[in-house]
Amino acid sequence: MTIETTETPSKAARFAWSPRSMARLAAVFTLIEGNSAVFGQLRIPGQFIVTRDAEATAANILSNETLFQFGVTLTLIAVAAHIAWVVLFYDLFKPVNRTLSRLTAFVGLIAIALQAVSAIFQIAPLTVLHGGEFSSAFTAEQLQALAYLSLRLQGQTFNTYLVFFGLWCLLTGTLIFRSGFMPRLVGLLEILAGVAYLILLWPPLAGALHPYYLFLGVGELVLLLWLLVKGVDSERWYALNRAFSEN
C-alpha cells in the first residue's frame, strides 16, 4: 500500500509568467488601452459635437453612424484592455507592498468603472436619436437635446475617470520608486504624470494651465517604453517575491 503525498507549491513556483514577460504584456495592454481610449473616447466623439448646437450634433451623428459606432467599439476595447493591465500591474508590484498594491488596484477598478459609464453615455445618442418605443413622447428637438446632453455627460464622466487614473498613476509611481527592480526615475516621472491628471480636480486651474500641464504626462510614455524594452530586473523581482512569499 502506498500513500501519496502532495506538496503545496510556493507562490513563485505557481507563477506562470516571468516578471519580464508580465511587464511587457502589461505594456502591450497599456498601449492598446491608451490608443483605443484616445480615439474612441476623445477624438471620434469630438468630431461630432458642435458646441451649443444640439441639432447640428445630431445631424453629424446620423450622417456617419458607422464612425460613431466604431468609436463606441474602441471604447469597449479600451475598457477590456484596462482591466487586463490593472490586474497585471497588481501581480507585478504586490511583492513591493501588499497593502499599497491592493489600494492601487482598487483605485484602478474605480477608474475602469467610470470609463465604462462614459461608454454608456457614448452609446446613448444613437439609441435616443433612433427613438424606438419612446420617440412619440418627445419632440425632435428634445431628442436632439438628449443626444447632445449624453455626449456632454460622456466627456464629463471621462474627465472624472482621468482624475482616478491620475491617482492610480501616482500610486503606481510610488510602487515603482520603492520596488528596486525598476529605476526610481521612472517611478518619479509616473508620479508627476499622476499629478498632471489630478489637476483636473480643479477645472479652472486645468483650463489656466492647459496645455502645459499635459507635458508632465511624459512619465506614461517613459514607463511604457521601459516596460516594452527593458521590462523589469527579474533577479531582484524574484528575490523580492521570495521575501513576500515567506511573510
Residue 194 belongs to some domain of the structure: yes
Domain carrying residue 143: 17-246
Give the pLDDT score at 33. Answer: 95
- Whether residue 211 has a cis bond before it, omega within 30° of 0: yes
DSSP state of 18: -
Length of the chain: 247
Residue 3 belongs to some domain of the structure: no
Distances from the Cα of 222 to the Cα of 80, 82, 128, 166, angstroms: 23, 18, 41, 16
List, for residues 153-191, the tens digit of each pLDDT value: 999 999 999 999 999 999 999 999 999 999 999 999 999
List, for residues 103-140, the tens digit of each pLDDT value: 999 999 999 999 999 999 999 998 888 876 666 678 88
Instruction: Quote the CA–CA distance of 18 and 53 in Å, as a whole number.
Output: 53
Distance between start and end Cα atoms, the chain: 38
Residue 239 belongs to some domain of the structure: yes
Which one, of 95, 108, 85, lies nearest residue 171 by Cα? 108
As a whole number, the mean pLDDT across the chain is 88
How many separate domains does the chain show?
1
Question: How large is the angle between the packed helices 54-63 and 65-93, nearest 10 degrees?
Answer: 90
DSSP string, 147-202: HHHHHHHHHHHHHHHHHHHHHHHHHHHHHHHHHSSS-HHHHHHHHHHHHHHHGGGS
pLDDT of 247 higher than 80 = no
Taking only Cα atoms into account, the Rg of the chain, rounded to an integer number of angstroms, comes to 22
DSSP state of 138: S
Residue 8 belongs to some domain of the structure: no
Residue 27 belongs to some domain of the structure: yes
Residue 38 belongs to some domain of the structure: yes
Residue 86 belongs to some domain of the structure: yes
Residue 189 belongs to some domain of the structure: yes
List, for residues 22-71, the tens digit of each pLDDT value: 999 999 999 999 999 999 999 999 999 999 999 999 999 999 999 999 99
Please state the pTM of the whole predicted model.
Answer: 0.86
